[in-house]
């Protein structure tokens, strides 16, 4: 009976459940780390841990959302509401500040495509992949888990390479989400310009928005703005320019 | 009215995603190209337009700010639906590529911050704005 109600009112269950997670995380932050680790950072880590638990229990690929009672979390954390909330944060963007990042932002966008792509291609080479399509698809996955499969589909990569490409992108997003709050000080993430550079370089919108949210909420719109453009550029250049570059270097 | 804010936000998001899809189709790729970014730029433009005409009421503001405030919980929900098991299980190559890419990019962010010269931090900007807001009424008084 209870399970039935919770499942039928999925989104409300998700609001209540995530509220509970946020509350517990705030308490852990205050009493166990004495405020040193931000409550949001703990909440994001808790979310990832719960996703692991959910995935292990059900054998599914959607973390907690594969548990029928908690399926509403899939809607709450899905693309529609995520994009809606990200766009809402743009309301706080200071136009003068966004403009000041100009050249740096553009440089970060370009580096955000080339650097992770190169790392991905080199690692794939080291693990014995030699054809340009597989190398490009795996390299594109190191940009984001959206760019990877889009590139792979456009180039006709096989499903094993696609899965690897997506997995690299997902792991990258997870690492950025979890690592950013701890390395924020080293990276100088305390102003709008570095947040825009960070967004452009990391490219993964979910990783950037999660990581910045856990660091300083005011930085989110600046990072998310460049990250979404980075992802878009990746989808554009992955199957075209980057593929042609790899083919020219590898020859095949 | 609060619903005007929510509606404006929804319209910007929908239009942005639509334009992103169209841009993708025009470029011959089956993906959304920068849709959220386009939507954010449109919302920023809409705010400036409303502000100039004096139409930016408390309700409109609240309708948008509410969703902005729900952003972190939504990100937590998103984190809870990632395929963490799959990413961990996929093997060492995945881990090497992801850790390498992230470590390199973190390093470059730190480097670019060093070379850029000083920038006003969010805390400083907020303090300055508070100061200006406090100074304004005194400045305009006859």
Q: Where are the domains of chain B?
A: 1-82, 84-142
Mutate to test the interface with A, among B2, B6, B82 (most CBs of A within 10 A): B82
DSSP A109: H
Burial of A60 (0-12, 13-18, 19+ CB in 10 A): middle
Chain B residues close to A77, C-beta within 8 Å: 74-81
A231 chain-B contacts, CB cut-off 8 A: 34
Domain match, A16 and A136 both? no
Is residue A84, in this structure, part of any structural domain at all? no
Chain A residues close to B29, C-beta within 8 Å: 150, 154, 235-236, 239
Q: In this predicted structure, what is the pLDDT of residue A252?
A: 56
∠ CA A213-A87-B61 to the nearest 5 degrees? Answer: 95
CA distances A166 to A139, A160, A171, A188, B53, Å, are 11, 10, 9, 30, 47
Distance CA A192, CA A223 (A): 8
Tokens encoding A112:
């955000």
Residues of chain B with pLDDT > 70: what percent?
Answer: 87
> What pLDDT does A115 receive?
94
Angstrom distance (rounded) from CA B52 to CA B126: 22
- Please name which of A104, A52, A68, A251 lies closest in space to residue B113, comparing C-alpha atoms: A104
How would you write A214-232 as a 3-class SS string?
A: HHCHHHHHHHHHHHHHHHH
Does this complex have an ipTM over 0.90?
Answer: no
Do A54 and A104 lie in a common domain? no
DSSP state of A33: S
- B20: which 2 tokens? 């992103």
pLDDT score at B134? 72
Under a CB-based contact definition with an 8 Å cutoff, are residues A132 and A247 in contact? yes
Contact flag A228-B34 (C-beta cutoff 8 Å): yes
Residues in A closer than 8 angstroms to B71, CB to CB, are: 85-86, 88-89, 209, 213, 217, 220
Whether A49 and A145 map to the same domain: the answer is no
Examine the domain organization and report whether A113 and A212 are in the same domain.
Answer: yes
Indicate whether A159 belongs to any domain.
yes
Task: Give the mean pLDDT of B94-118.
Answer: 84
B138 band by pLDDT with thresholds 50, 70 and 90: very low
Q: Is residue A217 part of a domain?
A: yes
Hey, are the CB atoms on B81 and A82 less than 8 Å from each other?
no
Q: Would you say the C-alpha torsion A74, A206, A121, A248 has a positive or negative sign?
A: positive
Pair A103, A73 in one domain: no
Domain limit, last residue, from A47, A77, A107:
A77
Q: Which of A217, A225, A210 is nearest to A44 (CA)?
A: A210
Structural domain of residue A110, as residue ranges?
Answer: 95-250
B111 contact A CB<8A: no
User: Do B80 and A48 meet the contact criterion of CB atoms below 8 Å apart?
Assistant: yes
CB contact under 8 A, A218 and B77: no
CB of B79 closer than 8 Å to CB of A51: yes
In whole angstroms, give the CA distance from residue B64 to residue B8.
8
In chain B, residues with a C-beta closer than 8 Å to the C-beta of A153 are: 30
Looking at the complex, report in whole angstroms how far the Cα of residue A29 sits from the nearest Cα belonging to chain B.
Answer: 15
More confident residue, B112 or B3: B3
Classify burial at A220, counting beta carbons within 10 Å of its beta carbon; exposed 0-12, middle 13-18, buried 19 or more.
buried
Chain A segment 47-66 residues within 8 A of B by beta carbon are 47-48, 50-52, 54-56, 61-65
Q: Find which of B2, B49, B67, B84 to mutate to test the A interface (most A CBs within 10 Å of its CB).
A: B84
Residue B61: the pLDDT is: 92
Please indicate, yes or no, whether residues A62 and A156 belong to a single structural domain of this protein. Answer: no
Q: Can you spell out the DSSP letters for B91-112?
A: -HHHHHHHHHHHHHHHHHHHHH
Q: What is the pLDDT of residue B141?
A: 41
Residues A51, B90: C-beta atoms closer than 8 Å: no
* C-alpha to C-alpha distances, A29 to A39, A49, A209, nearest whole angstrom: 5, 16, 20
Which residues of A are less than 8 Å from B95 in CB distance? 171
A89 in a domain, yes or no? no
The CA distance from B43 to the nearest CA of chain A, in Å, is 7
Output the pLDDT for position A140: 93
Whether the CB of A127 is below 8 Å from some CB of chain B: the reply is: yes
Residues A168 and A44 in one domain: no
- H helices within chain A, ranges in order? 2-8, 10-31, 39-58, 72-76, 79-89, 95-100, 102-126, 132-141, 147-155, 159-187, 192-202, 205-215, 220-237, 243-250
pLDDT of the residue at B68:
84
Nearest to B72 among A93, A107, A213 (CB): A213
The total of structural domains in chain A comes to 2
Contacts of A242 (CB under 8 A, 6+ apart): A113, A117, A136, A139, A140, A151
Q: What residue in B sits closest to A121 (Cα-Cα)?
A: B97
Per-residue pLDDT of chain A (252 residues; tens, 9 = 90+): 888 999 899 999 999 999 999 999 999 988 987 766 677 778 877 888 898 899 899 988 888 999 999 999 999 988 899 889 888 888 877 777 667 777 788 888 889 999 999 999 999 999 888 898 999 999 999 998 878 877 887 787 877 787 788 888 888 988 898 889 888 888 888 888 889 899 999 988 888 988 998 888 888 888 988 888 787 778 778 887 888 889 888 875
The C-alpha atoms of residue A48 and residue A73 are separated, in whole angstroms, by: 13
pLDDT tens for residues B30-88? 667 767 778 888 998 999 999 999 888 899 999 999 998 887 788 789 888 877 787 77
The DSSP result for A36-71, as a single string, is SS-HHHHHHHHHHHHHHHHHHHH--SSGGGGSGGGT
- Same domain as A118, residue A40: no
Give me A180's structure tokens. Answer: 């950013």
The pLDDT of residue B140: 43
Q: Are residues A42 and A71 in the same domain?
A: yes
Q: Does A30 fall in a domain?
A: yes
What is the residue whose two structure tokens read 């180039």?
Answer: A155
Check B37 against A153: CB less than 8 A apart: no
What is chain B's mean pLDDT, rounded? 83
A195 and A223 belong to one structural domain: yes
| A119 within 8 A of B97, measured Cβ to Cβ | yes
B50: nearest CA in chain A? A91
Instruction: Determine, yes or no, domain membership for A85.
Output: no
**Alpha carbon distance A142, A167 (integer Å):** 9
Confirm whether A233 is domain-assigned: yes
DSSP symbol at B82: S
Residues of B in contact with A64 (CB under 8 A): 80-81
Is A68 found in the same domain as A123?
no
Q: How far apart, in Å, do the first and last CA atoms of chain A sit?
A: 60
């Amino acid at each position: 009976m209870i399970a039935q109600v919770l499942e039928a009112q999925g989104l409300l269950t998700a609001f209540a459940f995530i509220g509970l997670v946020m509350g517990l995380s705030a308490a852990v932050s205050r009493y166990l780390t004495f405020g040193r680790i931000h409550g949001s950072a703990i909440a994001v880590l808790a979310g990832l841990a719960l996703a692991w638990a959910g995935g292990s229990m059900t054998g599914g690929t959607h973390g907690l959302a594969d548990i029928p009672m908690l399926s509403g979390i899939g809607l709450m954390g899905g693309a529609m509401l995520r994009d809606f909330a990200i766009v809402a944060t743009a309301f706080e963007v200071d136009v003068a500040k966004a403009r000041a990042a100009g050249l740096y932002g553009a440089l970060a966008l370009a580096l955000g495509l080339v650097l992770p792509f190169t790392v991905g291609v080199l690692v794939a080479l080291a693990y014995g992949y030699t054809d340009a399509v597989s190398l490009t698809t795996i390299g594109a996955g190191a940009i984001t888990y959206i760019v990877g499969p889009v590139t792979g589909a456009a180039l006709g990569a096989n499903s094993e390479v696609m899965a690897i490409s997506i997995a690299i992108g997902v792991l990258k997003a997870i690492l950025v989400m979890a690592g950013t709050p701890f390395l924020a000080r080293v990276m100088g993430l305390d102003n709008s310009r570095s947040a825009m550079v960070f967004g452009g370089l990391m490219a993964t919108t979910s990783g950037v928005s999660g990581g910045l949210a856990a660091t300083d909420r005011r930085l989110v719109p600046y990072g998310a703005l460049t990250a979404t453009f980075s992802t878009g550029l990746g989808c554009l250049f992955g199957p075209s320019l980057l593929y042609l570059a790899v083919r020219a270097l590898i020859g095949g | 009215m609060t619903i005007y804010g929510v509606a404006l936000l929804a319209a910007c998001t929908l239009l942005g995603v639509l334009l992103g899809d169209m841009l993708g189709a025009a470029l011959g790729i089956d993906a959304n190209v920068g849709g959220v970014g386009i939507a954010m730029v449109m919302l920023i433009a809409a705010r400036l337009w409303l502000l100039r005409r004096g139409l930016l009421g408390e309700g409109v503001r609240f309708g948008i700010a509410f969703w902005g405030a729900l952003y972190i919980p939504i990100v937590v929900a998103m984190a809870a639906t990632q395929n963490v098991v799959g990413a961990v299980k996929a093997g060492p190559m995945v881990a090497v590529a992801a850790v390498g890419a992230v470590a390199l990019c973190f390093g470059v962010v730190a480097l670019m911050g060093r070379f850029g010269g000083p920038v006003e931090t969010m805390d400083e900007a907020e303090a300055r704005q508070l100061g200006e807001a406090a100074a304004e009424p005194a400045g305009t008084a006859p």
